[in-house]
Amino acid sequence: MANTELIALERDERISAAARRLSMSRREFLQFCAALSATLGLPQGADAAVAEAVAVKKRPSVIWLHFQDCTGCTESMLRAEHPTLEKLILDVISLDYHETLFAASGHQVEAARLKAMAENKGQYILVVEGSIPTRDNGIYCKVGGKTAMELTKECAADAAAVIAIGSCASWGGMPSTDPNPTEAKGVAAVLGKPVVTIPGCPPNPYNFLSTVVHFLTFGKLPEVDSLGRPKFAYSRLIHENCERRAHFDAGRFAMQFGDAGHRQGFCLYKLGCKGPETYANCSVIMFGDAGAGTWPVSCGHPCIGCTEQGVGFQKPIHTLAKLKSVEPSAFLPRIVEEKGIGATVGAAALLAAVAGAAAGAGAMTARNLGLSHQAEEAERAKQNKTSSSAEV
C-alpha cells in the first residue's frame, strides 16, 4: 500500500528544492529517502520524515579525523553515486574538517576544525577513520602537533555523536594484528565508552550515510548491537543472503581457485569464506553502484570477515569459518560423483541367479501353502463326518 504522506510530499516545494540541489527529480529524491528508510528498517511513514529532514533540517557538522589507515574508508565514500560525494558533503552533511579532501593544509585546516567545533559545540558528529596508536603515549601518529589519542579525546568531548568508520577505527583492524608494534586500538577502547562502529575494509558508504540520516531525522543514532554496529546493517550473516548459498546447501564447493566448481560459481566455503560467521549486508547492497556482482564473493574471492573482530585480519584466509547457522549435511552428494560403468557379465549372472533362486523359492512357498490348505480342509471334513455319526 502506498504511503500517502510520502506522495503528498511530492508536491511540497521544499522537496523540489532539495531534489534540485541533489540533481534528482522529485520522484527520485523521494525514492532515495524511501530506500534509506527501508535500509534502516523503519516503520511505514518514516520515509516521509526522512525526506522532510533531509530537505529542511540544518545539515549536521561533521569533523572527520584520520589516523592509522589506508584511506580506504574515504575512498569508499568517493564512490557513492546516490547521492555523489559532493552532493553528500554540500547538501546532506557539512563536512567541516577532513584532511584528505581539504584543498587547504597546515594551520588553515586546524583552524577550520577548531572553528567548526566551537560553532557547533554539542551538535557536531565526530567521525574517526583509522586505528589509534597508544604505545609510548601515542607518539606514533601526530597531526598538528597532537597525538591521535589527544585529538580523539579533544574532539569527542563536545560531540553529539561519535562514529568509528572502518575496521581500523572500530577495533584496531589491520594495524592491530600481531605483533601490533604501536599497540593500535579502536576508538571505543581509547575513549573508554561505547561508540557507533561501522566496520568493514572498506565499509559500505551507504551504511554511514544511513546512520547520519537517522541522526538527522530523529536526533539520535540507530539501534546498535553489542559491538556498537547499527543493527540495520549488521544483524544478519552474509551467508544468509549470499548468492552462492544454494550451492552450499547442496554441497557444491569450489576446492581450489580456478577449478571447475570455482568457474561455475560454487560455494567458496572450503576456500576459507568467512561469510557464515560474519555479520554485514555486503551481499545485499554491494559496492560501488556498479550493479550485480560488485562484492568480493560474487567476484570469486572468499569473504575475509572484515566486519568481525577476531576474524578479519586474525584468521588466515584459507581457514574454514565457524558456522553460525546450518552446517552442510554429511548425506549431501560429494564434490565429484563417480560415473557408473554398467554391470559386468559376472555381476549380471549373479543377479540372475539370485533372482531365479528367489522366484523358485516363491513357487515352492506357494505350493507348500496350497498343500497345507488342502490338508486343513480334509481334516475339517473328517471331523464333521465323525460328529454326524455320533449324533445318529
Rounded distance, CA 224 to CA 222, Å?
6
Same domain, yes or no, for 145 and 226?
A: yes
Same domain, yes or no, for 126 and 258?
A: no
Residue in 245, 242, 162, 165 with CA at minimum distance from that of residue 204: 165
Same domain, yes or no, for 222 and 107?
A: yes
Supply the pLDDT for residue 48: 76
The reply to whether 74 falls in a domain is yes
The reply to whether 138 falls in a domain is yes
Rounded distance, CA 91 to CA 79, Å?
17
Structural contact between residues 145 and 95, judged by C-beta atoms closer than 8 angstroms:
no
End residue of a domain, out of 232, 262, 285: 232
Supply the pLDDT for residue 1: 33
- Residue 335, pLDDT > 90, answer no
Same domain, yes or no, for 83 and 224?
A: yes
Half-sphere exposure at residue 164, Cβ-oriented, CA atoms within 13 angstroms = 34
The reply to whether 52 falls in a domain is no
What is the tens place of the pLDDT at every residue in 105-137? 788 889 989 999 999 999 999 999 999 999 999
Rounded distance, CA 92 to CA 85, Å?
10
The reply to whether 305 falls in a domain is yes
- Residue 38, pLDDT > 90, answer no
- Residue 365, pLDDT > 50, answer no
Q: CATH number for the domain including 257?
A: 4.10.480.10
Phi, psi of 388 (to 5 degrees): -70, -40
* Sheet-wide strand order for 94-98: 94-98, 61-66, 125-129, 161-165, 196-198
SS3 assignment, position 230: strand
Same domain, yes or no, for 106 and 80?
A: yes
pLDDT-wise least confident of 19-28, 164-173, 300-309: 19-28
Structural contact between residues 203 and 76, judged by C-beta atoms closer than 8 angstroms:
yes
The reply to whether 353 falls in a domain is no
What is the tens place of the pLDDT at every residue in 189-229? 999 988 999 999 999 888 888 888 888 888 888 999 999 99
Specify the DSSP class assigned to residue 191: H
- Residue 372, pLDDT > 60, answer no
Q: CATH number for the domain including 181?
A: 3.40.50.700
The reply to whether 349 falls in a domain is no
Start-to-end CA span in the chain (Å):
96
Residues belonging to the chain: 392
The reply to whether 6 falls in a domain is no
What is the tens place of the pLDDT at every residue in 43-79? 666 777 777 777 777 778 899 999 999 998 988 887 7
The reply to whether 120 falls in a domain is yes
Same domain, yes or no, for 153 and 292?
A: no
Same domain, yes or no, for 129 and 201?
A: yes
Same domain, yes or no, for 154 and 202?
A: yes
Rounded distance, CA 195 to CA 221, Å?
10
End residue of a domain, out of 335, 353, 381: 335
Same domain, yes or no, for 92 and 64?
A: yes
Domain around 107 = 57-232
State the amino acid at position 270 in one-letter form. Answer: K
Same domain, yes or no, for 124 and 217?
A: yes
End residue of a domain, out of 232, 256, 275: 232
What is the tens place of the pLDDT at every residue in 256-309? 999 999 999 999 999 999 999 999 999 888 876 666 678 889 989 999 999 999
Supply the pLDDT for residue 369: 47
Distance of CA 379 to the CA centre of its chain: 82
Same domain, yes or no, for 227 and 250?
A: no
- Residue 314, pLDDT > 80, answer yes
Supply the pLDDT for residue 2: 41
Q: What rounded mean pLDDT belongs to the chain?
A: 81
How many structural domains is the chain composed of? Answer: 2
- Residue 364, pLDDT > 60, answer no
Rounded distance, CA 227 to CA 107, Å?
36
Residue in 290, 235, 280, 222 with CA at minimum distance from that of residue 82: 290
Same domain, yes or no, for 74 and 208?
A: yes
The percentage of residues in the chain with a pLDDT greater than 70, rounded to a whole number, is 74
SS3 assignment, position 95: strand
